[in-house]
Amino acid sequence: MGTVSKALSLLTLFSRSRDRIGLSEIARLSGMNKATAHRLLSELQTSGFVEQVGSGREYRLGPAFLRLAALREATVPMRDLAFSVVEVLAETTGETAHVSLLHGTTLSTITYAYAHQHGLQVTMEDAEILPLHATSSGHAVLAFSEPAFVDEALAHPLEALTQMTITDPAVLNARLEEVRRTGLAESVGAFEAEVHTHAAPLFDARQACMGAIAVAAPSARMTEDHRRSIRAALLDAAPRLTRLMGGFLPDIAQKDAAE
């Protein structure tokens, strides 16, 4: 391993649960001796990638990452990142894939991709608004949001968009328990008749749920094998997109992804 690779490997030791690390601990975690670890950290500190804080002179990530993060967002916007994932997801599943982000108590679609395997596919509109109570994306968000937000979102009368739309908050809350357990939401004909959707939550840097990634298919095409393949693809895509967008999975979602 070269010097640059060794230095970069030290940065991977930091996490939300371990945001400050002393020199001895860094040496232990990295398997390097203290002299080597100190030399590499000094070089990283000179460039602003780490800084020392507190009376124990522990290390934490430095301000250089703020500049790089801002530059990445300017050059590779969130929509482009999302599209890079949904494009693959659509091709993998053979169905329409899309990403929506939370705005108030609704979801706004930021990007979508169509598959090419079938002539019949679920179509989307640019910036389409998705209600939380009537979509799998909405259920995924509600299941991993704070209780106060869920109460606010379900406080007003819930509109029945189809015969399958859940309009009883108690019934919907019971459904959310299953979403939390599996890490996936599923909806059949609740937003659009004859459309079967699955969705998984996306999280921001504070581990708060900020939206969802979903796959929508005609109900007539949804066999049990197809359902399993879509769910597996989403459980792979959602954590990947969360990380690409600078987010972190909460403990419960990490467990679901691992399972």
What pLDDT was estimated at residue 258?
46
What pLDDT was estimated at residue 243?
93
What pLDDT was estimated at residue 103?
85
What pLDDT was estimated at residue 104?
84
Structure tokens at 35: 């002299």
What pLDDT was estimated at residue 254?
56
How many CB atoms within 10 Å of residue 88?
16
Q: Is 51 helix (H, G, I), strand (E, B) or coil?
A: strand
Structure tokens at 97: 């894939």
Whether the Cβ atoms of residue 122 and residue 135 lie closer than 8 Å to each other: no
CATH topology of domain 3-67: Arc Repressor Mutant, subunit A (1.10.10)
How many CB atoms within 10 Å of residue 17?
7
Q: How far apart are CA 179 and CA 201, in angstroms?
A: 10
Which one, of 118, 111, 139, 136, lies nearest residue 192 by Cα? Answer: 136
Architecture of the domain defined by 76-258: 2-Layer Sandwich (3.30)
Structure tokens at 166: 């859940």
Whether the Cβ atoms of residue 50 and residue 62 lie closer than 8 Å to each other: yes
What pLDDT was estimated at residue 71?
76
- The residues spanned by each domain of the chain are 3-67, 76-258
Mean pLDDT per block of 10 residues along the chain (259 residues) reads 84 83 94 94 94 92 85 74 95 97 89 91 87 97 96 92 95 95 96 97 94 97 97 97 91 55
What pLDDT was estimated at residue 147?
94
What pLDDT was estimated at residue 257?
47
